[in-house]
Amino acid sequence: MAPAEAEAGTAFVTVNGARVALPGSATPHTTTLDWLRNRGLTGSKEGCAEGECGACAVMVARPGAEGSSATEWVALNSCLVPVAALDGQEVVTVEGLGTPARLHPVQRELADRGGSQCGYCTPGFVCSMAAEFYRADRSPVDPENTQADHECGPNGFDLHALSGNLCRCTGYRPIRDAAYALGSPEEGDPLTQRLRAEPTPPRPTHLAADGAELVRPGTLAEAVELLAGRPDAVLLAGSTDVGVDLNLRGARPPLLVAVDRLPELRDLRVTDEEVCIGAALTLTEVERGLDGRVPLLAQLFPQFASRLIRNGATLGGNLGTGSPIGDAAPVLLALEASLVLVGTDGERVVPLADYFTGYRASVRRPGELIREVRLPLPLAPVAAFHKVAKRRFDDISSVAVAFALEVVDGTVTRVRIGLGGVAATPIRALRTEALLQGSPWTPESVSAAAGVLAAEGTPLSDHRASDRYRSAMLEQSLLRLHSDQGMLSEVAP
């Protein structure tokens, strides 16, 4: 089936090199996965419909790092993103990478090393692996460098690129072996040449069908004006939360407003006084842009879902949903973050500690959106993020605890503790903070404070954990922090 050429001005997506018109083939709620499969591109599979298995992964061309004039290939969960949100963008599926007669290097290595059995998950692995294969700063790891990430292969392949891909029958060793056997892209590789092209700038979008609309405003002013007039609108950034509502809860919002590419929401800057993070920057972009300059965030990122999710998820979306188990909120509370909210009446700055008002509720007024997150400097020198979950990676927290404190001459002079999963909202452990402030950093005082921390919040029992377990984990988290800091001080020069 030959894709129809998109007419000038018509919403379209370029799929495997061919432009395909969206009107008539998609509604505002049609996921990219369903749209691709309806067009006969059935390599992409639906395994979970919530972004946890990676069977639906595809590659999307996105602008590279800030200041770069090039493009990069980013792996995304196609089951979550409405295809209309990709208007004007370029998608490559497993069918666009290679053919049986001419396999792509990733496909060839997976085949040669026994990386596929039933094959259901394989297309998703291929697309995630190919996005890492084309990563511009991937380079061989020096085997003599003992500080190198132990999960990076000798070819510089970051195995965490596959953290969102689930395999149930092959086993991960041959998949890892295939990833570590990859060389560099060949000079004539068309997808490599595509990386050198100018990124496709975002463009305004309006798709209406089945009584619903998806709109991508051209400016922030247009976005807030639209939101002010439509209280039924749902904001769309990475769609890692909205996509789950569409798939599993049958949500059909009448208006989706895509704000993920608005330049005003995509700024990242560090001054002497603060770190400012645009609300629509993906977590991957923030992670790479900060490059470890905020250690507490650096601890958060590898534990926040998977690389596939972090390639789409945003801090604005994570905070905007108001989830009490979102991993970002406890960390940002410990960092004393403030939010810049913008609406038709202008901007206002709200401390994150005052932002949440109830379960999935906040002080954000109708028509307002989060423009950026601000972190004051200097940062507390002692920082730790403890996530308690049933799986090490790509899981929802049962309890999340973030610490930021300063100890001077054995006394706690500054302390902030953010908690998630133990109340109807993310909270600060205010009683524990008050007890620790000015106290000696000793096993006795920390043990007393840990007992107070165990009683913070109003933890519930559910399928993830009991209330007693959650309280016990709060207590243990502070004891663990003290123990870890003691070991660090023993090895310090």
pLDDT tens per residue across span 196-247: 877 777 789 999 999 999 999 999 999 999 999 998 999 999 999 999 999 9
| 146 pLDDT above the threshold of 80 | no
Q: Please give the average per-residue pLDDT across 433-450, as a whole number.
A: 97
Residue 157's pLDDT band (boundaries 50, 70, 90)?
A: very high
| 31 pLDDT above the threshold of 50 | yes
For the chain, give the mean pLDDT: 92
Does residue 313 or residue 2 have the better pLDDT? 313
Q: What is the pLDDT of residue 440?
A: 96
Residue 331's pLDDT band (boundaries 50, 70, 90)?
A: very high
Residue 492's pLDDT band (boundaries 50, 70, 90)?
A: very low
Domains of the chain (ranges; CATH) run 1-199 (3.10.20.30), 263-376 (3.30.465.10), 383-491 (3.30.390.50)
Q: What is the pLDDT of residue 150?
A: 54
Q: Please give the average per-residue pLDDT across 116-131, as a whole number.
A: 96
| 147 pLDDT above the threshold of 60 | no
Q: Please give the average per-residue pLDDT across 266-280, as a whole number.
A: 97
Least confident of 11-15, 52-56, 196-200, 473-477: 196-200
SS (H, E, C) the chain: CCCCCCCCCCCEEEECCEEEECCCCCCCCCEHHHHHHHCCCCCCCCCCCCCCCCCCEEEEEEECCCCCCCEEEEEEECCCCEHHHHCCCEEECHHHHCCCCCCCHHHHHHHHCCCCCCCCCHHHHHHHHHHHHCCCCCCCCCCCCCCCCCCECCCCCEHHHHCCCCCCCCCHHHHHHHHHHCCCCCCCCHHHHHHCCCCCCCCCEEEEECCEEEEECCCHHHHHHHHHHCCCEEEECCCCCHHHHHHHCCCCCCEEEECCCCHHHCCEEECCCEEEEECCCEHHHHHHHHCCCCHHHHHHHHHCCCHHHHCCCEHHHHHHCCCCCCCHHHHHHHCCCEEEEEECCEEEEEEHHHCEEECCEECCCCCCEEEEEEEECCCCCEEEEEEECCCCCCCCCCEEEEEEEEEECCEEEEEEEEEECCCCCCEECHHHHHHHCCCECCHHHHHHHHHHHCCCCCCCCCCCCCHHHHHHHHHHHHHHHHHHHHHHHHHCC
| 101 pLDDT above the threshold of 70 | yes
Least confident of 280-294, 389-403, 422-436: 389-403
| 160 pLDDT above the threshold of 70 | yes
| 493 pLDDT above the threshold of 60 | no
Q: What is the pLDDT of residue 198?
A: 75
Residue 67's pLDDT band (boundaries 50, 70, 90)?
A: low
Least confident of 19-33, 60-74, 115-129: 60-74
Q: Over pLDDT 70: what percentage of the chain?
A: 94
Q: What is the pLDDT of residue 211?
A: 95
Q: What is the pLDDT of residue 149?
A: 53
Q: What is the pLDDT of residue 432?
A: 98
Q: Please give the average per-residue pLDDT across 69-82, as a whole number.
A: 92
